[in-house]
Structure 1
Amino acid sequence: MTRRNSLLDRRALFASGAAAALLAASGVSAAGIPRAGGRLRMALSDAARDDTWTNGEGLFMQVARQGLVFDTLTEVAADGTLRAELATGWHTSDAGRTWRFDLRPAVKFHDDTPLTAKDVAGSLAAVFGLGTTCIADGKYAVIIALNAPNPGLPLLLAQPEFVIRPAHAPQSGIGTGLYRVKHFAPGQQLVTERVSAHYKDGDAGWFDEVELVSIPSEKVRIQALAEILVDAVNVTDADGVTDLPDIALLPHRRMPSTAVSRDIAHPAQISQLRPLDNLRAAERWWFG
């Protein structure tokens, strides 16, 4: 293998480097070791009555899909490290045009159907469309052939649109994520519960239940947070929160994207890519 290709050969590694980064990525912070329990309530914007599990790109459905119900092949950790999720490793043989992703075995969808390469290939093909070929290579590997080289494909596959769906029910809210759907009212509410067993056990998914409610007005969302009706909301500025001592602004006060109750604990490092810890607050946070 050439030096160029060796740089593209990304094996699935958790965050490496300084011990602080490792602890932050795994969920250990000044708040202490994460503990399980409780119901996380989040009020979010951009929900719509015509939202479905395959339609609707507002924040509400992005959190519902990637932050709760579904997984992707790769994940961007809070410290910016690209790491494995449903994939266990990946490499390219021709400078980024053809890729092989090895899959995590023994993963099941919420209906107890095993995840296979056919599910992954079908999910990715539906997003890529014409010009890209996605085929199963045995039960636990997928080959992706692009129409042009893309050395950044593993990073791209961490994006919310690349969630993996079951081939037998691609339109449904059945995923491999930490939380299964209990109730879904499009444009209004989603209630989920923690699955009993998951490959991330001990590393993520500390809440027993997670509820999303749609509140379009930022002023009303902040009011709901101040009255302890919810635990976290998305915001665009700090104006309505500065006089509320029990509420923290994340990732920082200068340019906040999230306001959260101080009853919520979280890793020392919070992702700045998207609100709510890159959509994954339900996975990474816990009640302190």
Structure 2
Amino acid sequence: MTVLSSPPTARVPGRRRPLAIVAALSATLLALAGCATATPSDDTTADAASAVYRIGISDPGAELDPLTVADGDAQLITGLVTEQLVSFTADGEALPRLATDWEASDDGLTWTFTLREGATFNDGDPVTADDVVATFDALIGDDSISPAKSAFTGILDSVAATDEGTVTFTLARPFSDFPRLLAGNNTGILPADYEPGTWLENPVGAGQFLLEDYEVGRSVTYVKNPDYWNADEIALDGIELKVYKDPQAIVLAFQAGEIDRITVSPEVLATVNVDDYDTLSAGYSHFYGIHLNVTEAPFDDVTIRQALAWAIDRDAIVDLVFGGTATPGNDFPVLPDYLPQPLDIEQRAQDLDKVADLLDGRTVSFTITTSFQLYGEVLQQQLNAIDGFDVQLEVLSDEQYYAEGDDSPWLNAPLTITSWGKRVPSQYYSLFYAEGAAWNAAHYANPDLGTLVTDFDATTDEAEREQLITEISQTEWTDVPTIIPALVRSEVLQNKRVMGDFIAPIDFWSGYNFAGISIASE
């Protein structure tokens, strides 16, 4: 699936299989076990008994640069070596990394970050304010092609070194959640003299591990960085990323004990004995937005949009599409592990009486366009079982769905299903609700909503923020430009040889944090 934490040209780490009954899925996958290639090579580079954590990935290709990687597997490859200023736990708690302290000015337009003394890059050079400035100048500059640029557009104006150990970020407008942006993708700090495009020749970073070997299409191996600032908390000897050709091969490799973790999905649950493994749930990672083009029939009528929102069986979406690794959404993009939370907004669930009242005898015809076949099939079947809906389905490849150009299907079809990675809630507004937003698939804009979002970003008063996030979410809930039936947790099965607790998913939000993780001796 493609998760839009970065531009929609991101390559896809895996494909979803078509909708099927769980038992049939299980039988099909087991029958294919004899012909699938489960291992990336005939030999392994990490002994199963060594203190090496092993992860299955799909091939991200050979072009890797921390400033521009968009694919999730490519981000992992660079993120294990680089280090951010700050990261976050699954509960949303900020953790100091290369920055130890930060504070905002009274007007909210200046944020000052103090850097960690003694932190060094893996070439021995100290991490200084000039390195931080150069990294962010590269991300936000006029010629930047980094996916991170969109997160800072309209928010970050400039970055300057106050002294060797202090960096000042000057904002274009107050943004109380600014530290969260520094845990976004592509924000690992690089040396000031880093030349974009050269990272694989010299994989520099200030992170937990050193890249030891990269065999394109086969594996990526790392060893512990002994000079990492928090090296005492890194108990692993290294990491191995093993490349597999498809999700089925990853399932088989996990069952064979060749990798230590696998993301939970209906396919995995249909084939793997869950009791043989530990189940990890570390916060929420993304959601799928059902975007409705509000400028064209039938979705230019708000009652049609509301009827559709009440028609969806959200519990079935959670179970059939995500294998139970999600919670029902309520049509506003606020993940449950973000604070503050909206208050007292009625939770939508399937209500066919409300659907009938809102449709008032009308029959609504439209086509679902998506690259996520399973989700599209579940939604189509649900709606076509309800009087008043006549729904077709168009499943495209990711390349077709996210095609460049003014006519790209994901931005222009009447109803699309698109995945969105974890962000600050107000960022979703600027990405897909604001007038002129680049990813506004709903073609929706509400100036009053924009004012509320601006006020929310500007205040640090918790009571005021709670009130504003409630008003923002209520507006989105009422206008229904996007339906969000499910909020997806980061849930994985893990080999019981792994000890310790991850504080968050293994992603850029957490800074790929392996502190406290070890391998049991055998």
Q: Which TM-score band applies after superposition, normalised by the shorter structure?
A: 0.7 to 0.9
* SS class of match (1:122): helix
Q: Match for 2:235 among 200, 206, 228?
A: 206
Distance in 2 between the 1:145 and 1:279 partners? Answer: 24
Change (3 A) 1:71 1:277: closer
Change (3 A) 1:118 1:278: closer
Aligned residue number for residue 271 of structure 1: 504
Q: Answer whether contact 1:43 1:234 (CA < 8 A) is retained.
A: no
Give the C-alpha shift of residue 280 in structure 1.
2.5
* SS class of match (2:232): coil
Distance in 2 between the 1:263 and 1:117 partners? Answer: 40
Aligned residue number for residue 18 of structure 1: none
Q: Match for 1:228 among 248, 257, 266?
A: 257
Alignment map for 1:32-71 (pairs within 5 Å): 38-45=51-58, 47-66=60-79, 68-71=80-83
Alignment map for 1:114-133 (pairs within 5 Å): 114-129=126-141, 132-133=157-158
Q: Which amino acid aligns with 2:108?
A: G
Give the C-alpha shift of residue 285 in structure 1.
2.2
Which range moved further: 75-84 or 114-123? 75-84
Q: Which amino acid aligns with 1:117?
A: A
Alignment map for 1:10-25 (pairs within 5 Å): none
CA root-mean-square deviation? 2.6
Give the C-alpha shift of residue 153 in structure 1.
0.8
Q: Answer whether contact 1:133 1:144 (CA < 8 A) is retained.
A: yes
Q: Match for 1:80 among 85, 92, 101?
A: 92
Distance in 2 between the 1:38 and 1:198 partners? Answer: 18
Alignment map for 1:97-246 (pairs within 5 Å): 97-129=109-141, 132-171=157-196, 172=199, 173-186=203-216, 188-203=218-233, 205-237=234-266, 238-243=268-273, 245-246=275-276
Give the C-alpha shift of residue 112 in structure 1.
0.6
Distance in 1 between the 2:83 and 2:508 partners? Answer: 16
* SS class of match (2:131): helix
Change (3 A) 1:52 1:234: farther
* SS class of match (2:70): coil
Aligned residue number for residue 27 of structure 1: none
Q: Greater relative contact order (Cα 8 A, min sep 6): structure 1 or 2? A: 1
Task: Return 5+ residue gaps in structure 1 as ranges.
Answer: 1-36
Aligned residue number for residue 4 of structure 1: none
Q: Which amino acid aligns with 1:133?
A: S
Q: Answer whether contact 1:45 1:58 (CA < 8 A) is retained.
A: no
Q: Answer whether contact 2:75 2:508 (CA < 8 A) is retained.
A: no
Distance in 1 between the 2:493 and 2:509 partners? Answer: 11
Change (3 A) 1:235 1:166: farther
Aligned residue number for residue 496 of structure 2: 262
What are the superposed Cα offsets for residues 173-218 of structure 1, whole Å, 9 maximum, x if unpaired?
A: 2000010111124554221110123221333x22111111222422
Change (3 A) 1:216 1:160: farther
Q: Answer whether contact 1:100 1:144 (CA < 8 A) is retained.
A: yes
Distance in 2 between the 1:58 and 1:118 partners? Answer: 28
What are the superposed Cα offsets for residues 140-167 of structure 1, whole Å, 9 maximum, x if unpaired?
A: 0111112222111111111232111111
* SS class of match (1:251): strand
Q: Answer whether contact 1:258 1:275 (CA < 8 A) is retained.
A: no
Q: Answer whether contact 1:224 1:230 (CA < 8 A) is retained.
A: yes
Q: Which amino acid aligns with 2:125?
A: T
Q: Answer whether contact 2:55 2:259 (CA < 8 A) is retained.
A: yes
* SS class of match (1:127): helix
Q: Answer whether contact 1:71 1:164 (CA < 8 A) is retained.
A: yes
Distance in 2 between the 1:222 and 1:191 partners? Answer: 20
Q: Which amino acid aligns with 2:63?
A: D
Give the C-alpha shift of residue 51 in structure 1.
3.3
Q: Answer whether contact 1:40 1:211 (CA < 8 A) is retained.
A: yes
Aligned residue number for residue 34 of structure 1: none
* SS class of match (1:161): coil
Change (3 A) 1:98 1:192: same
Give the C-alpha shift of residue 277 in structure 1.
9.3
Work out the number of aligned pairs and report it.
Answer: 248
Q: Which amino acid aligns with 1:58?
A: D
Distance in 2 between the 1:266 and 1:50 partners? Answer: 33
TM-score (norm 1): 0.76
Give the C-alpha shift of residue 279 in structure 1.
6.3
Q: Which amino acid aligns with 1:112?
A: G
Q: Answer whether contact 1:60 1:212 (CA < 8 A) is retained.
A: no
Change (3 A) 1:43 1:60: same
TM-score (norm 2): 0.44
